């Protein structure tokens, strides 16, 4: 029975391509050295541990940890309780947005936030904006007034509108979080362009009196929409107030006049050139006529001389032939 089973197994193993021989133990070798990979070959390096900030042997806290600790104390003092994680994050993000961004300069340091956060966030959760936002400010104070000194009043998603219609530049609308970028690339460019145009026109102008005025009527503080309108009180003579469009139109008119005058001058120059050319041609014709007359005169002189020569030759011929006397010859030669 066992013999039949072994024969069946051998047949099935042959069909599967398996060897029926038992595996033999590897022979022992002498004098063969075992080769192993170097310890540093293809081995993964362990990530280096992050070095803690250390100054003169003292551990320095990260900016985030410092601010979060200050925010926790702020919540206990102002709300009488610990802030939720969401509230703490909102306060931290508000501080980071204004003062802790490395890409922009600010006059509020981390140390000031740490020691005087109540002043930094003096208008957080207030019903009305602070005076830094509602009192008039110059166009170059937009960011310092509304971003660096708002007392934490504004929120990232607040809508800010800057009305520049007084200078013909429409309105600029931006979320609060993007105010520095909108100011640098849009508001400043439009207003500064107008200032330079006005100065080019020679109009008496004072940039310090070109102010943004808070428009409480157009603003909707409940819906977090805030509007400032640019005032043109910087122009001393009100009759000289012009929008950017009017200034541009005036410039275009001047340019058209200049272009027209250039064309007119070119036409006059061309007329003068043509006149000079005509006069030159007329003079050349007259000179040619005079020259021709002189030639004709020379011809007449030559003809007269030839006739005189012919006359003399005839008289000499008559004298030689004895047809006239010497006295007659002398008389005829003296005649002119």
pLDDT band, very low/low/confident/very high, at 250 (cuts 50, 70, 90): low
Q: Which pLDDT band holds residue 163 (cuts at 50, 70, 90)?
A: very high
Structure confidence by residue, pLDDT tens digits, 273-309: 888 888 888 888 888 888 888 888 888 888 888 888 8
Could you tell me if 204 and 287 lie in one domain?
Answer: no
Query: How far apart are the C-alpha atoms of 100 and 280, rounded to whole Å?
Result: 82
CB 135 within 8 A of CB 123: no
Question: Do residues 156 and 236 both lie within one domain?
Answer: yes
Q: Tens digit of pLDDT for each residue in 117-135? A: 888 888 988 999 999 999 9
Q: For the chain, state the CA radius of gyration.
A: 55
pLDDT of residue 316: 85
pLDDT average, residue stretch 178-203: 88
* Of 16-20, 165-169, 228-232, 277-281, minimum mean pLDDT range: 16-20
pLDDT of residue 114: 77
Across the chain, mean pLDDT equals 76
**Statement: the pTM of the whole predicted model exceeds 0.75:** no
Strands, E assignment, the chain:
54-55, 58-59, 137-138, 159-163, 171-175, 211-214, 225-230
Count of domains for the chain: 3
Instruction: Select the more confidently predicted residue: 217 or 50.
Output: 217
pLDDT at 259 over 50: yes
Among 92, 120, 148, identify where a domain stops. Answer: 120
Is 144 in the same domain as 104? no
Q: Which of 99-113, 161-175, 216-230 has the lowest mean pLDDT?
A: 99-113
| The last residue of a domain, from among 98, 120, 142 | 120
Quickly state the pLDDT bin for 177 (edges 50, 70, 90). very high
Kindly state whether residue 283 falls inside one of the protein's structural domains.
yes
Do 88 and 128 lie in one domain? The reply is no
Residues 158 and 230 in one domain: yes
Predicted pLDDT of residue 244? 52
Whether residue 151 is found in the same domain as residue 202: yes
Residue 327 lies in a domain: yes
**Domain limits at 107?**
59-120
Confidence of residue 26 (pLDDT cuts 50, 70, 90): very low
38 within a domain of the structure (yes/no): no
> Among 29-38, 46-55, 287-296, where is mean pLDDT lowest?
29-38
- Is residue 140 located within the same domain as residue 214? yes
Question: Of 67, 94, 120, which marks where a domain is finished?
Answer: 120
CB atoms within 10 A of CB 182: 20
User: Is 6 domain-assigned?
Assistant: no
- On whether both 256 and 236 belong to a single domain, the answer is no
User: Which pLDDT value is given to residue 156?
Assistant: 92
Residues 6 or more apart whose CB falls under 8 angstroms from that of 69 comprise: 61
- 177 and 65, same domain (yes or no): no
Q: Tell how far CA 234 is from the center of its chain.
A: 27
| Same-domain status, 136 and 87 | no
Tokens of 74: 């702020």
- Residues 34-63, mean pLDDT to the nearest whole number: 49
Whether residue 178 is found in the same domain as residue 112: no
| pLDDT (tens digit per residue) in 66-91 | 888 888 888 888 888 888 888 888 88
| Percent with pLDDT over 70 in the chain | 72
96 within domain boundaries: yes
Q: Are residues 291 and 233 located together in one domain of the fold?
A: no
Q: Is residue 8 part of a domain?
A: no
Q: Output 107 or 32, whichever has higher pLDDT.
A: 107
> Mean pLDDT, to the nearest integer, of 104-128?
81
Per the domain annotation, does 50 fall within a domain?
no
Residue 27 lies in a domain: no
Residue 207 backbone phi and psi in degrees, to 5: -65, -30
**CA 260, CA 266: separation in Å to the nearest integer?**
10
């Amino acid at each position: 029975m066992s013999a039949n089973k072994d024969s069946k197994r051998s047949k099935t193993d042959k069909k599967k391509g398996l060897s029926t021989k038992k595996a033999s133990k590897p022979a022992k070798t002498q004098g063969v050295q075992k080769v192993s990979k170097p310890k540093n070959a293809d081995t993964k390096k362990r990530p280096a541990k992050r070095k803690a900030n250390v100054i003169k042997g003292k551990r320095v806290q990260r900016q985030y940890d410092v601010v979060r600790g200050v925010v926790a104390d702020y919540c206990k003092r102002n709300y009488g309780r610990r802030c939720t994680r969401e509230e703490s994050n909102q306060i931290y993000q508000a501080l980071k947005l204004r003062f802790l961004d490395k890409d922009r300069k600010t006059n509020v340091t981390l140390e000031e936030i740490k020691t005087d956060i109540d002043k930094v966030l003096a208008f957080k959760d207030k019903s009305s904006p602070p005076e830094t936002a509602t009192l008039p400010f110059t166009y170059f104070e937009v960011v310092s007034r509304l971003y660096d000194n708002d007392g934490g009043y504004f929120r990232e998603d607040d809508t800010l509108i800057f009305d520049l219609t007084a200078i013909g530049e429409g309105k600029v609308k931006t979320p609060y979080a993007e105010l520095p970028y909108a100011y640098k690339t849009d508001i400043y460019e439009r207003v500064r362009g107008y200032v330079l145009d006005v100065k080019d026109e020679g109009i008496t102008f004072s940039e310090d009196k070109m102010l943004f005025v808070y428009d409480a009527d157009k603003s909707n503080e409940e819906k977090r929409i805030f509007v400032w309108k640019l005032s043109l009180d910087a122009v001393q003579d009100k009759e000289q107030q012009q929008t950017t469009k009017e200034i541009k139109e005036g410039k275009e008119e001047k340019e058209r006049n200049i272009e027209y005058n250039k064309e007119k001058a070119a036409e006059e120059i061309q007329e003068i050139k043509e006149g000079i050319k005509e006069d030159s041609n007329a003079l050349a014709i007259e000179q040619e006529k005079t020259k021709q007359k002189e030639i004709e005169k020379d011809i007449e002189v030559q003809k007269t001389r030839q006739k005189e020569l012919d006359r003399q030759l005839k008289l000499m011929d008559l004298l030689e032939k004895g047809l006239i006397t010497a006295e007659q010859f002398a008389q005829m030669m003296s005649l002119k």
